[in-house]
Amino acid sequence: MRYEGMVFRPPSEADSYILQATVGCSWNKCTYCAMYRDKSYRVRELSESLEDLDEAGRQIGRRVRKLFVADGDALALPVDHWLSILERARQVFPRRGQISC
C-alpha cells in the first residue's frame, strides 16, 4: 500500500481503505483548491493499484467495508482500469459495500 505525497481523506470516508489510483488532479487550476499543487497528475500503473489492493486484502481485507479510490481525479481513470480495480476489490474485500471516488 503505497501513497505518493499527501493523501486527503474526505470526512465521509473516515472508515474507508484509500487506494491511490491516480496521483494529483488532472485540472489542478481551481483558485479555491491547493490540495494537489505539489503533485503532477498521472494515472498510476494498473499493476501497482492491483498490488496495493492485494496487500490490503491480505492485511485488513475482512475489515474493509468501504473503498475510496483517490487522488484528485480518479474519475479520469480509463474504463479498463476501473473494471480491473472493481473486480479485484470484489475479490479481496468480501465484506465491502461502498466504493467511491
Note the pTM of the prediction, 2 decimals. Answer: 0.91
Helix (H) or strand (E) holding 57: helix 46-60
Residue 48: predicted pLDDT: 97
- The pLDDT-based confidence of 55 (bands split at 50, 70, 90) is very high
Contact 18, 2 (CB under 8 A): no
Residue 43: predicted pLDDT: 95
Amino acid at 48: E
- Which domains, ranges and CATH numbers included, belong to the chain? 13-100 (3.30.750.210)
